[in-house]
Amino acid sequence: MNEEFNDFGPEYKLKPVSVCKCITEGSLSENFVISARKQQILSTVARTESYLKERRIPELLRFLVTKVIAETSNKPMDYLEKLLDDCMLFRAGHGPAPVLYERRHLEAVIKSFDPGQRGWLSTGQIRRIYTTLGITPPEIFEDKTSCEVVLNSLEKSQEIDLFSLVSAVGDRTYNVKNVVPYQPHHEAVADRLVLFVVDGLRAESFVNYTTMPYLRQIANSHGRWGISHTRMPTESRPGHVAIIAGFYEDPSAIVKGWKENPVDFDSVFNQSIYTWCWGTYDILEIFTKGTVNSHIYVNKMDPYDQTFSADKNTTLLDNWVFESVKTFFQNAHYDKDLYEKLHQKKIIFFLHLLGTDTSGHTHKPMSPNFLTTIRFVDDNIKAIEKLIRNFYHDDKKTTFLVTSDHGMTDWGSHGAGLDHETKTPYVIWGAGVQQVKKWQLDLDPETNGMSLKHRLDINQADLTPLMSTILSIPVPVNSIGQLPSELLNMTLSNKAKAIYSNSRQLLSQYNTKRLNVETNIIQKIYKPYEPFNARKYQEIIEFTEKILSNGTKHNEDYEKLILLSLEVMHLSLSGLNYYHNYYQQPLLVLVTLSFIGWIGILLKTLLEQKMHTQIESSNMQNKSLNIIRNKFRTSLLNAVFLFLLVIFVSLVYVQNLPYQYYIYVLMPIYLWWHTLSSFNIWILLIKDIKRDGEVCTVSSEILYYTLGSIAMGISFTHRWMLSIPLLSMGVWPYLCSLKIHSTKLLLFLWTVGCMLLSIFSFTPIVGKDTYIELVLLAGAIWSIVIAVYMWKLLLPLYRDNRARRKDIILTILQLVLLILSLQNIYVQSKRFDSGTAVSQTYQAMAWIIAVISIAMPLMFSRKLICRLMAINTSVLNFYLLLSVSHEGLFMVALIFNMSCWICIEFKLQHFKNMKIIEYTFANLETSSNLIPMERSISNQDFRRAFYFTLYIILAFFGTGNIASLNSFEIRWVTCFITSFKPFIITGLILLKTLAPFLVVACSFRAVQHLTKAPIGYLIIIVLIYSNIMGIQLLYNVKNTGSWLDIGTSISQFVIVQVITLFIVLINQLAKILTDLNIYSIVNQLFGKSIKKYV
């Protein structure tokens, strides 16, 4: 068996073994695999036989049970009896001991706690008995409880624990590995909790509007209210998980759309006795999917019944929930089993109300429709409260909590970190809620008529321990929330115990993380978290348990316990963060070295290609000398890196670090070894630079491209930084030979184009405001461009060429489609703004236009300019159908600037008696009218790759940023769809995001074709630039501060890492659009058969 550590010590990982058939059902197979729950129970054994010498009963019991299950003896009961006798004799030194799980054993334990034979035990003594036996008390005992009552309770609890052990396959509670729920000892302040989650309700809509009068009246009188601060991403799944499970989700869950359940987790629903839920299935299944929970009952609806269309009533969604709840309680009077369940303690009712989110997306949060929807919610919450109070005869044992999962922007989106998205309201009232003594309202100046005395702001995750405390159930094991005890009306002793339970739950997480680090780390280099090291941890546990076990009623002790528990929570959260980032600095250094080594390999690849001819022309004597020197240098190099390899691998192995740490260590060693293995290339490079007198030139280019890459990296957070390299591009032609070979008009247009693009980096991101007039303006400008293009270029060139007239006809057809799209945009926008249902006929027309636009470029001839114009027109047409503001003008400016770049690169090739309109996207193998096919890499290729990288970054950050990916504006897709169909909507938005990249890739394809630049080496250069940006953004990745900062920094780093792969893919798509001809395909498929038929 292998050992690991949890918060109980070493954990044994048991292999699947046969189970004793005496204590399990006969249907179980001989090779029974231990379930997750059983594995968790067995993991608490935590010690070996050494515990037998320390007289610890819980470890003895767990040790015995584990031995029985793991033992493959043919007579397990005989084995258990002998083992038990041996253990007891070993512990006591005399006589046989009572058999395990027999009443005599428990009697002996109770007698040891009652040596004076008083016949009763204090609360502290009972707690220590349960702790000693390692079982959970099922109830709260009085201060003086008879030994007979305690004995019966112990026997019952022990039987339940044994049954849970051998039948753990059906256990209903999720348990995160190595963290055990802590059973609270305080009294519940309510028997039941009613949780309303008003989806998409931001705090501003509650505190500054009077459309929720009932909840506002409660908040200002016998209830409490405040702001619940959420974290990014402000989506439904992360918000509900934070409310009900108490932890914030990892942004990586975005790959599942914030809907699926990436990991199993604990929640207040799991810890309750019964939970009833009503709402949409995509939310309810978050807490029930993949489980066999028989105590969580769901009543779900299809979320695709919701619609974003302006002619629908969004209150229908919430009305279904409210009516279902009313029917449920009416049926409970006639269902005896249900009636009994509803009168159990520790039960929860959960109502998920989606209407506000749908209304906010469709009509915006300040619209009359949205205000009507939240008024409807307010009225029905009042009705549901009355219904539940009447059902329970107003027994004063029900707590009500209303909150929201996330907020919403003024323009009806969420997902980012604006205040309107991260600030949500909550209102709590009913049993156990602390009343404000002063009834005279002290108005909050930040709100409209809300009481400042009743306000208490909290974090969203704090709602989880709040609900757990109200019902006196364990706080979910991975919750990081801290109990806002000011909201609860509890005695000092109860409050102290509740806060202490919360601190123990956080403490268990911290201790697990600490032990994971301490297990195999080299002690000489280990730096523990000094504010809360192992010694202080043990002292706190002993001190707090001593306070609780004394059964004291002195307020001073409880106040000490509260202060100590609060400090424990603070230290636990701080310690969790410390150990989570324990290896951060070494890993940053290793990753940085890997980046630099990778850049070195890429440069070496380029140098090998460039110097190949020089190396081959060297005489044999020089080659021999180089080989001799290389052998010595290679041997020395291998010895050094082998030594480093052994040292670092040994450090990882000794500390038993995860397997990925071997990659972190091996990667920089291998990359640097590979970079330096061809040392001659670097020597030859330096000699060539010195010989040609290009030291200053090369140094200035390296500085320029490095600073330019850094500027592009900074643009991920500050878009205006893109204007710096754009303006430098604008003056570039005046600093090279291009000034001699180009017309002044071309140079002027290039400079103007760069300045226009730089302006867009200062404009607001698209999404907040809608300016359809700018979309129509962009379409009008491009219509004029098409008309001029046809008049000046196509007609003179193809006037006497019947075979090419189809390009003119197709261009006219594209112009007609563009005009139809502009009409579609105008009509649908007016209908949407007026509240009229958008036209399905126009939506069908938009789909037809989009499909035709995608196919049309393949029908054009492969003339370079004609094909590019066809691609740009089709892409722009589709892009405008998804535009709402100035992004259409940005696309026009981008196409204009890229066209100027193509003309400039053509001029740089110094072609004589040739026009750019004459060139085609012919296959590289058949094109011989330009410069030679194969050539070495040049410094101009570094410039082209840099411009290409800049255009790629600009294609996204010209009108958006990272946060805009999480935002959703329904107006973007109004021309295509209004029903809530996430797959289609997401696809359309991704295509809109892809459109500018496609324009850049096709234009770069033309540049590469004109210059015959080796595309593979250009991508290598792009990879070098992206790695420079990657090093910079690596150190900008944050794990502290707001969730917006954390998520954005991670997204930026990931985007830079995948940019090269994205460029490869987008270039392949551009190759298809520029090289493929649909007529050639049809001819190849059907030409021969037609000819044969004729």
For 913, the 3-state DSSP assignment is coil
Alpha helices in 582-619 (DSSP H): 584-617
- Burial letters 3-19, b for 16+ CB under 10 A, else e: ebbbbbebbbebeeebb
Q: Which of 1015, 320, 1029 is nearest to 714 (CA)?
A: 1029
- Give the Cα separation of 568 and 1028 in Å (integer): 43
- pLDDT digit string (tens) for 717-734? 888 888 999 998 888 887
- Which helix (H) or strand (E) is 214 found in, with range? helix 213-219
Residue spans of the domains in the chain: they are 192-458+475-490, 590-660+668-683, 707-926+936-1083
Other CB atoms closer than 10 Å to residue 148's CB: what's the count?
A: 11
- Residues across the chain: 1094
Decide if 500 contacts 548 (C-beta within 8 A). Answer: yes
Contacts of 718 (CB under 8 A, 6+ apart): none
**Rounded mean pLDDT of 431-446?**
81
Q: What is the pLDDT of residue 924?
A: 43
* Residue 236 CB burial class (10 angstroms; 0-12, 13-18, ≥19): buried
Q: Which of 356, 337, 328, 370 is nearest to 194 (CA)?
A: 328
- Give the Cα separation of 126 and 724 in Å (integer): 73
Decide if 201 contacts 355 (C-beta within 8 A). Answer: no
Of 47-51, 176-180, 786-790, 925-929, the range with the lowest mean pLDDT is 47-51
- Which helix (H) or strand (E) is 63 found in, with range? helix 57-70
What is the chain's alpha carbon radius of gyration, rounded to the nearest angstrom? 36
Alpha helices in 475-583 (DSSP H): 492-518, 534-549, 555-580
Q: 917 is written with which tokens?
A: 């309109």
Q: 175 is written with which tokens?
A: 């348990």
- Give the Cα separation of 599 and 605 in Å (integer): 10
- Give the Cα separation of 951 and 899 in Å (integer): 13
- Give the Cα separation of 774 and 786 in Å (integer): 18
The answer to whether residue 625 scores a pLDDT higher than 90 is no
Decide if 432 contacts 489 (C-beta within 8 A). Answer: yes
The answer to whether residue 908 scores a pLDDT higher than 90 is no
Alpha helices in 439-483 (DSSP H): 463-471
Torsion of CA 258, 263, 268, 269, to 10 degrees: 80
Q: What is the pLDDT of residue 243?
A: 95
Q: Which percentage of the chain shows pLDDT scores above 70?
A: 73
Of 368-382, 496-510, 533-547, 857-871, the range with the lowest mean pLDDT is 533-547
Split at pLDDT 50, 70, 90, the class of 209 is confident
- Give the Cα separation of 580 and 583 in Å (integer): 8
Structure-model confidence comparison of residues 420 and 330, the more confident one? 330
**Nearest-5° Cα angle at 39, 38 to 43:** 115
Q: Which of 260, 351, 363, 258 is nearest to 307 (CA)?
A: 363
- Give the Cα separation of 417 and 966 in Å (integer): 10
- Give the Cα separation of 739 and 735 in Å (integer): 8
Decide if 122 contacts 144 (C-beta within 8 A). Answer: yes
Amino acid at 615: I
Read off the pTM: 0.61
Decide if 969 contacts 412 (C-beta within 8 A). Answer: yes
Contacts of 924 (CB under 8 A, 6+ apart): 933, 1009, 1012
Q: What is the DSSP pairing of strand 398-403 with strand 192-198?
A: parallel
- Which helix (H) or strand (E) is 194 found in, with range? strand 192-198
Other CB atoms closer than 10 Å to residue 366's CB: what's the count?
A: 13
- Give the Cα separation of 245 and 396 in Å (integer): 26
Domain range 192-458+475-490, its CATH number among 3.10.20.30, 3.40.50.300, 3.90.230.10, 3.40.720.10: 3.40.720.10
- Give the Cα separation of 44 and 421 in Å (integer): 42
**Nearest-5° Cα angle at 701, 696 to 702:** 100
Of 22-36, 792-806, 944-958, the range with the lowest mean pLDDT is 22-36
Q: What is the pLDDT of residue 502?
A: 94
**Rounded mean pLDDT of 500-517?**
88
Considering Cα of 602, then 603, then 605, then 610, what sign does the dihedral take?
A: positive
Decide if 134 contacts 115 (C-beta within 8 A). Answer: no
- pLDDT digit string (tens) for 55-90? 445 445 555 555 555 444 556 666 666 666 655 554
H helices then E strands: how many in the chain? Answer: 40, 12
- Burial letters 777-804, b for 16+ CB under 10 A, else e: bbbeebeebbeebbeebbeebbeeeeeb
The answer to whether residue 435 scores a pLDDT higher than 90 is no
Angle between helices 939-957 and 1015-1034 (to 10 degrees): 60
- pLDDT digit string (tens) for 116-131? 777 888 766 776 676 5
Decide if 555 contacts 468 (C-beta within 8 A). Answer: no
Tokens 């109502």 sit on residue: 351
Amino acid at 90: F
Under DSSP, the state recorded for 694 is -
Of 4-18, 108-122, 959-973, the range with the lowest mean pLDDT is 4-18
The β-bridge partners of 488 are: 433
The answer to whether residue 394 scores a pLDDT higher than 90 is yes
- Burial letters 648-682, b for 16+ CB under 10 A, else e: beeebeebebeeebeebbbbbbebbbebbbbeebe
- Give the Cα separation of 712 and 1026 in Å (integer): 9
- Give the Cα separation of 470 and 345 in Å (integer): 11
Decide if 916 contacts 860 (C-beta within 8 A). Answer: no
Q: What is the pLDDT of residue 217?
A: 93
Q: 964 is written with which tokens?
A: 């805009």
Peptide bond into 233 cis (omega under 30): yes
For 977, the 3-state DSSP assignment is coil
Decide if 412 contacts 364 (C-beta within 8 A). Answer: yes
For 398, the 3-state DSSP assignment is strand
